[in-house]
A and B are shown apart, each in its own frame.
Chain A
Amino acid sequence: MKSKNTWIQKSLLALIALMIAVPALRAEEWVRYQARPGSKIKIEGTSTIHDWAVEGGIISGAMELESNFPLDPAVKAPDSAKLNARVQVSIPVRSLKSGKTLMDDVMRGAMNEEKFKLIQYKLDSISMKPHKAGEALEYEADGVITVSGVSKPNKMSVKIEKISGTSLKVIGETPLKMSDFGIEPPAPSIGLGLIKTSDDVKVTFEWVTAQRK
């Protein structure tokens, strides 16, 4: 009995050790990239009088990539491979500027910034787009964008560039509709008549990240 008990005890101990060790090992397989200064985001739209744009320089958040995540364009990546990555990003609405105070006030009003201060993005899944060795790496990202408290699924292509040994730049572009997020396109009545803002906007970004030290 004694030997059997010892065996059970040993097995339990080994199992517990394994339970502790596996997540620890798994954690080591992920590389965390933290948002760093130098990012750019631009939202462009049209209206009945002129095109408009707002720009920002703050994209906060972090990205965790599994250590085997393909980042070297010289090495051919497996086609359509599902990759493991976690991404969460946020942008303060008030950091987006048009260069015109009044237009910024209109934008914050339309986006109800007082209540919803952040634009957020969370990645659900990411896969490799067909790739040839030596060409830029492109990925298909599925995630959720939250604007003015409304969350909508989003699919976009992104590129990831190495800007140094430990820094990555994520570059992407996606069209959005204001009305999808419950935002009524501003239609100000100024001077000679009504200005109608188009519902469609284009979001482009360059997100700079660096490995956490």
Chain B
Amino acid sequence: MMKNEPVSELNRRSFLKGGSISTLMSLIGAVELKPEPAAQGIAGVKIQAGPKVNCAVIGLGTRGREIAQTLSVLPDANVSAVCDPYPSSLRRGAKAAPTAASIKDYKQILADKAIKAVVIATPSHEHRQIVIEALDAGKHVYCEAPLAHTIEDARAIALAARKAHRQVFQAGLQTRSESQRHFLLSFIRAGAIGRPVMVKTQWHKKQSWRFASPNTEREKALNWRLSQETSPGLIGEIGIHQVDATSWYLNSNPVAVTGFGAVNFWNDGRDVPDTVQAVFEYPNNVNLIADCTLANSFDSMMDVLYGTDSAVMIREEKAWMFKEVDAPLLGWEVYAAKQAFYRETGIALVANATKLSAQGTAEKEAPAYTNTTLSTALESFLINSRLTGTAVEDFLTNYGEDEEGLKEYLADMEKNRQPAAGYQEGYEATVSVLKANEAILGKKRIVLDKELYQLG
């Protein structure tokens, strides 16, 4: 590996190496794309890992509890506290992180100097105050995506994060930390799919998004995603990850968005559509077509990037490339595993890939809550929090207060950070999807000026 490359990063030379014996083989079927596995500990050497990071989870809904569970099994985390004002959520959160203290008031967590990092998983419309107070309290902050339910709140959060340069701010755009995505990024940037022509993404589930509650007030609070007043909609809550990944891969933000949406199935009084489609226009006439539904689960989740030479399909942490017959030989694919993929008939011959791969050998199960996109993103957050925390401490101990010098030192430290979405990426993705949600609700096209993405 070359210096400063993430462990999983594509070694382009290894891709380009290779013979031509199996040229014809490479022209048919799918080629599974996977990064080199990260080393899992090393035999024969003493390793001194950095100290665990004392952290807390604020907001213990379904997502918050998943985060607490994940942190509990990460080697770099010491989950000191979990927090939710609602007693039953707090009880369930405490079960997710058994060693953590149960705290009702987040201000108590922010006042605890021993807690260095907080993950904020409250409803999106409650992020702003907590994030800003957490940054003011000197905490490293992981804020779930989208950053907020309004552009104004998202901007306030991003500006506070920019100002808090002594701390880590990570937006919960977890694919930015995923080794598979970084591997693919290098692959696509190396021109392996030719010129991108369009992108498709889908998220299909049959679920109500509604939570039951014994009283009306709590019911309303729990179901914040079902009211336009508080919800960024399906495209904001779910689609943001795909939109962000597309913007990242295309190295550009959408310049316009057109949306459609309706309550097609869950007619339970909600005013947030359960089925949406949006077309995001990117520069060079490349469009992203995104659809999300809560009314049908067929074909689940998938992203496909179409290029002039090949298409890449991404499902969870797996990906495949489908080459065009006239695409040039890259070389490396001669050695890659190949599987026919007759998606239209529902017969999957890709072993160990997704639920579509009904046939084939079952993949060895990883322990629960490990090796997921979320665990990778949280691991990045913890490592980066420790890196920044010790860097600030070392700088101040050795040089004293010197804000400009510290900024330069931390900027130089960037190359050592684990890949993760920062406030700018978080803000841009949030703007894209909030505008898309606006387009969906109004069934209209909205032009997204460059200025919209700038923090000022």
A residues lining the B interface (CB < 8 Å):
35-38, 50, 52-53, 57-58, 60, 92, 94-95, 97-102, 104-106, 108-110, 112-114, 186-191, 194
- Report the bound CA distance from A95 to B410 in whole Å: 11
- B398 with A113: CB separation less than 8 A: no
Task: Identify A92's interface contact among B1, B387, B398, CB under 8 A.
Answer: B398
- Report the bound CA distance from A20 to B45 in whole Å: 57
CB distance from A52 to the nearest CB of B (A): 7
Task: Identify A194's interface contact among B44, B48, B383, B412, CB under 8 A.
Answer: B44
- Report the bound CA distance from A187 to B45 in whole Å: 6
- A52 with B394: CB separation less than 8 A: no
Task: Identify A105's interface contact among B7, B49, B395, CB under 8 A.
Answer: B49
A57-B412 contact, Cβ under 8 Å, with A94-B390, A99-B3, A102-B42: yes
Residue of B nearest to A37 (CB): B405
In the bound complex, residues from chain B placing their C-beta under 8 Å from that of A108 are: 48
B349 interface contact, C-beta 8 A: no
Residue of B nearest to A49 (CB): B1
- Report the bound CA distance from A110 to B45 in whole Å: 8
In the bound complex, residues from chain A placing their C-beta under 8 Å from that of B2 are: 50
B408 interface contact, C-beta 8 A: yes
- Report the bound CA distance from A98 to B5 in whole Å: 10
What string of 1s and 0s marks CB contacts (under 8 Å) between B360-394 and chain A? 00000000000000000000000100010011001
- Report the bound CA distance from A52 to B4 in whole Å: 10
Task: Identify A37's interface contact among B3, B402, B413, CB under 8 A.
Answer: B402
Report 8 cross-chain contacts, Cβ distance below 8 Å, ordered by A residue. A38-B405, A52-B3, A60-B399, A95-B391, A97-B413, A99-B3, A105-B50, A108-B48
What string of 1s and 0s marks CB contacts (under 8 Å) between B317-358 and chain A? 000000000000000000000000000000000000000000
- B398 with A105: CB separation less than 8 A: no
Within 8 A of A (CB), among B1-33: 1-5, 7
- B3 with A105: CB separation less than 8 A: no
Residue of A nearest to B406 (CB): A37
CB distance from A183 to the nearest CB of B (A): 11
B47 interface contact, C-beta 8 A: yes
Residue of A nearest to B398 (CB): A60
A189-B405 contact, Cβ under 8 Å, with A95-B394, A101-B383, A113-B48: no
- Report the bound CA distance from A130 to B48 in whole Å: 45
B409 interface contact, C-beta 8 A: yes
- A101 with B45: CB separation less than 8 A: no
B43 interface contact, C-beta 8 A: yes
- B398 with A35: CB separation less than 8 A: yes
- Report the bound CA distance from A38 to B48 in whole Å: 28
CB distance from B39 to the nearest CB of A (A): 5
- Report the bound CA distance from A191 to B41 in whole Å: 11
- B413 with A189: CB separation less than 8 A: no
CB distance from A79 to the nearest CB of B (A): 36
- A37 with B399: CB separation less than 8 A: yes
- B45 with A186: CB separation less than 8 A: yes
In the bound complex, residues from chain B placing their C-beta under 8 Å from that of A190 are: 39, 42-43
A-B pairs, 7 with minimum CB distance: A37-B405, A109-B46, A60-B398, A99-B4, A108-B48, A109-B48, A188-B42
Beyond A37-B408, A102-B38: 10 further Cβ-contacts under 8 Å? A37-B399, A37-B402, A94-B390, A98-B416, A99-B3, A100-B7, A104-B416, A105-B49, A110-B45, A190-B39
CB distance from B401 to the nearest CB of A (A): 11
B206 interface contact, C-beta 8 A: no
In the bound complex, residues from chain A placing their C-beta under 8 Å from that of B409 are: 37, 57-58
CB distance from A112 to the nearest CB of B (A): 8
CB distance from B76 to the nearest CB of A (A): 9
Task: Identify A188's interface contact among B44, B387, B416, CB under 8 A.
Answer: B44
- B45 with A98: CB separation less than 8 A: no
- Report the bound CA distance from A102 to B379 in whole Å: 13
- Report the bound CA distance from A57 to B410 in whole Å: 10
B415 interface contact, C-beta 8 A: yes
- A109 with B47: CB separation less than 8 A: yes
In the bound complex, residues from chain A placing their C-beta under 8 Å from that of B402 are: 36-37
CB distance from A71 to the nearest CB of B (A): 23
CB distance from A13 to the nearest CB of B (A): 42
